[in-house]
Amino acid sequence: MLLEAKHLTKTFGEKVAVNAVDLQIEKGSFTALLGPNGAGKSTTLNMLIGLSQPTAGQVVYDQQPKLGVVFQGSVLDNMLTVRENLQIRAGQYRHVPADRVTVLSQQLGLTNFMSQRYDTLSGGQRRRVDIARALLNNPDILFLDEPTTGLDIQTRRAIWTLVQKLQREQNLTVILTMHYLDEADAADNVIVIDHGKVLAHGTAAELKDRYAADLLTITTPDVSQLVANIDRKPTRVTATQIAFNLPTMQDALDILTANRTLISNFEFRPGTMDDAFLALTGKEMR
């Protein structure tokens, strides 16, 4: 185990921001802390990186791994170019190889805008530079606090591809917080947090299996006959449609085959991370 949090707790006055959170992080894994605004994600992250002291509980690191952190707000200088920013930061570490900035700029696709001032970059370009900055000291664990918030969908995908590539190719351990549920698919380990507590954890597929039923919607000329035929409680019935939450796709196939003649159309949708999140927290992702 590379990193373990035991009963991690943080209170601000009366407010319990993080409540006895247990976490286990394996080397080379990709962990996503998922939760709505105010769930306690950033507070947890800040304790893991040592920026904030837990009120109770502890963070235990195996050996002394090097940490890289991408904060929500950038820590780079707007008035300097990308190259200047990275070189100045590289100079603040000991033992950073002379070609590190060049290597990272190639790896992260920054070469075209190295001479551009940081404040003239697009959101996605900035985020890539922020990630390069966090990788200067060749960290064992990369922490990212909501790295894709505020970016458009294509840029978000590009950032995910990049982070996954770093994880796979360099066996980097990645821990991040996120808001967009569809992106949790990339993680090996999704930890759903709300009100400072871990509500569930597992792979995205496990969470979907456990908390997000598949949805079968059938369009039929005879709703009442179909209701009578099927020995399950529908989740929704209209004049022409009937919908069921089902544990597996096989259940959907059974219903469709047995009622073929009554079906004019159907839609089958596997459970999504949004469904799982809704089931776990009782609220839509904000």
Ligand X SMILES: Nc1ncnc2c1ncn2[C@@H]1O[C@H](COP(=O)(O)OP(=O)(O)OP(=O)(O)O)[C@@H](O)[C@H]1O
Choice between 27 and 197, CB closer to ligand X: 197
Interaction of residue 198 with ligand X, rule CB under 6 A: no
**Which run of H or of E encompasses 135?**
helix 123-135
How many residues contact ligand X, by CB under 6 A?
A: 11
CB of 159 or CB of 193, closer to ligand X = 193
Q: Does 42 bind ligand X (CB under 6 A)?
A: yes
**DSSP letter assigned to residue 81:** B
Q: Is 43 in the site for ligand X (CB under 6 A)?
A: yes
Please state the closest distance from residue 16 (CB atom) to ligand X, in A.
Answer: 8
Cα(48)–Cα(12) distance, integer angstroms: 17
Q: How far is the CB of 14 from ligand X (least distance, A)?
A: 10
Cα–Cα nearest to 122, from 166, 165, 156, 87: 156
Q: Which of 19, 32, 41, 191 binds ligand X (CB under 6 A)?
A: 41
Task: Check residue 48 for interaction with ligand X (CB under 6 A).
Answer: no
Interaction between residue 173 and ligand X (CB under 6 A): no
Q: What CA–CA distance (Å, rounded) separates 119 from 276?
A: 38
Which of residues 39 and 176 has its CB atom nearest to ligand X in the complex?
39
Question: In a 10 Å sphere around its CB, with 0-12 CB exposed, 13-18 middle and 19+ buried, how is residue 155 labelled?
Answer: middle
Q: Are 67 and 15 in contact (CB under 8 A)?
A: no
Rounded Cα distance, 278 and 212, in Å: 9
Residue 16 vs 243, nearer CB to ligand X: 16
Complex with ligand X: residue 174 or 193, whichever CB lies closer: 193
Nearer to ligand X, 193 or 226 (CB): 193
Task: Classify 284 as helix, strand or coil.
Answer: coil
Distance between CA 86 and CA 114 in Å, rounded?
9
Contact 188, 31 (CB under 8 A): yes
How many other CB atoms sit within 10 Å of the CB of residue 144?
24
Task: Tell me how far, at minimum, the Cβ of 10 lies from ligand X, in Å.
Answer: 8
User: What's the min distance (Å) between Cβ of 148 and ligand X?
Assistant: 12
Q: Please, which of residues 1-40 interact with ligand X by CB under 6 A? A: 12, 15, 17, 35, 37-40
CB of 163 to ligand X, least distance (A): 18
Q: Which residues bind ligand X (CB under 6 A)?
A: 12, 15, 17, 35, 37-43
